[in-house]
Amino acid sequence: MTIDSAIYDQIRDTTRRFADDVVRPVAVELDRTEAFPAEIYRQMGELGLFGITVPSELGGAGLDTLAYAIVMEELSRGYASVADQCGVVELIGTLLTRYGTPEQQQRHLPDILAARVRIAYCLTEAEAGSDLSNVKTTAKPTAEGWLLNGGKLWIHNAPVADLGFVLASTEPQAGHRGMSIFIVDLHAEGVTRGAKEHKMGQRASQVGGLTFDNVLVPKDALLGEMNRGFHIMMSVLEKGRVGIGALAVGIAQAGLEAALAYARERRQFGKPILENQGLQWMLADMAKDIAAGRALVERAAGMIDRGASATSAASIAKCFASDMAVAQTANAVQIFGGSGYIQGVEVERLYRDAKITQIYEGTNQIQRTIIARELIKHGA
């Protein structure tokens, strides 16, 4: 697929206006209340910000991974919790596009992409975070379909989701080669939601647990081939890591913009603090590292779009961008001084929001392991 560069500019401009006009004005309140951004979610569906790479014939935007990265960065520049919603829909939309039956696509994609249905990507368990091969949730066949038993934790949207895409063991003795994915009605009998977790950052992106107690799942709820669930989930991780890398760049970009504006206004010793060379160098380091992070994200996105292996590139982008976002939002707080340490000030929230990017979608320690493994396998 070849997309004219003007289309990317249009996507960035449209998403940036939405972030500035709709998202940023309520970010402080959403962070304070930890409320799900329901009205923003609805507007994102109307604007076409869900399913960026889902083909147009299936109701998506029909664009590419680079366009998705641009949307993620600009939404995150407004508020990362909002970008998280775009990321979850993108991954689920990709799974349905690649592996769903025509019936599953027709049943679920229109409501998901139009924001009429909220979804959750249900992987993590108490002993299965970075090590997904240790999933204990089971799905056993019955005459009517499957009986689902087990529990998930720290699942995005668990407190509010209507539909869950659940990784479960269908042949426990086969380890990761015996897992399958099921599309589960989270309002069904036997599904229990745990308490909403209270997080350090990205607080309006709600996280909680799910328990499945003999939940009857119909036969046509199996997504893709039986016992190929682990492979299917892994197949979207590169795109997921590009998305988190872009989200991290957006957080850092918001920090730079806030720090630059403050440095122009804040006066000490009779002059704006922007005139101090040491502070100028801090801003310069922020700008160059953000540019580097953006370039790495765009490189990995381009590799995915060309059909090249992006295993290492996606891990490099995610790892660098998230480490950078934590470091440079810390510098933004430093430039604000004491006021940057006060709740309600944007850079304080950005610093908290940045931290999770080093953890989810594979910790940065896992990313370094992947990068090293690829170096050993393929060379520098």
What confidence tens digit (pLDDT) does each residue in 251-299 have? 999 999 999 999 999 999 999 999 999 999 999 999 999 999 999 999 9
Among all chains, which residue has been given the structure tokens 């897992």?
A: 179
* Residue 2 scores a pLDDT above 80: no
Q: How many CA atoms lie within 13 A of 144 on its CB side?
A: 7
* Residue 4 scores a pLDDT above 90: no
Measured between alpha carbons, how far is 272 from 289 in angstroms, rounded to an integer? 24
Mean pLDDT of 180-200: 97
* Residue 1 scores a pLDDT above 80: no
Q: Do domains 120-229 and 231-378 have the same CATH topology?
A: no
Measured between alpha carbons, how far is 250 from 348 in angstroms, rounded to an integer? 15
Instruction: State the pLDDT at residue 292.
Output: 98
Q: What is the pLDDT of residues 211-267, one digit of tens each?
A: 999 999 999 999 999 999 999 998 999 999 999 999 999 999 999 999 999 999 999
- What are the distances in angstroms from CA 156 to CA 50, 243, 256, 334? 16, 15, 28, 31
Residue among 54, 56, 47, 53 at smallest CA distance from 69: 53
CATH of domain 120-229: 2.40.110.10
Measured between alpha carbons, how far is 362 from 356 in angstroms, rounded to an integer? 11
Is 361 one of the catalytic residues?
A: yes
Q: How confident is the model at residue 134 (pLDDT cuts 50, 70, 90)?
A: confident
The more confident residue out of 2 and 165 is 165
Q: What percent of the chain has pLDDT over 90?
A: 95
Judge whether 166 and 212 are in contact, CB under 8 Å.
yes
Domain boundaries, the chain: 5-117, 120-229, 231-378
Contacts 24+ apart (CB under 8 A), 21-27: 22/78, 23/75, 23/78, 23/79, 23/82, 24/78, 24/79, 26/79, 27/78, 27/79, 27/346, 27/349
Cα-based angle 85, 223, 99 (whole degrees, multiple of 5): 80
| Superfamily in which the 5-117 domain is placed by CATH | Acyl-CoA dehydrogenase/oxidase, N-terminal domain (1.10.540.10)
Burial track 300-325 (b if 16+ CB lie within 10 A, e otherwise)? bbbbbbeeeebbbbbbbbbbbbbbbb
Residue 139 CB neighbours (<10 A): 28
Mean residue pLDDT of the chain comes to 96
Q: Which of 34, 298, 346, 361 is catalytic?
A: 361
Q: What is the pLDDT of residues 157-180, one digit of tens each?
A: 999 999 999 999 999 999 999 999
Among all chains, which residue has been given the structure tokens 């039956």?
A: 101
Measured between alpha carbons, how far is 69 from 253 in angstroms, rounded to an integer? 14
Residue 149 CB neighbours (<10 A): 17
Residue among 74, 95, 79, 62 at smallest CA distance from 240: 95
Among all chains, which residue has been given the structure tokens 């998280």?
A: 84
- Encoding tokens for residue 189? 């009998």
Give the CATH fold of the 231-378 domain.
Butyryl-CoA Dehydrogenase, subunit A; domain 3 (1.20.140)
Measured between alpha carbons, how far is 308 from 92 in angstroms, rounded to an integer? 22
Instruction: State the pLDDT at residue 298.
Output: 98
The more confident residue out of 133 and 365 is 365
Q: How confident is the model at residue 209 (pLDDT cuts 50, 70, 90)?
A: very high
pTM of this prediction?
0.96
Q: What is the pLDDT of residues 111-124, one digit of tens each?
A: 999 999 999 999 99
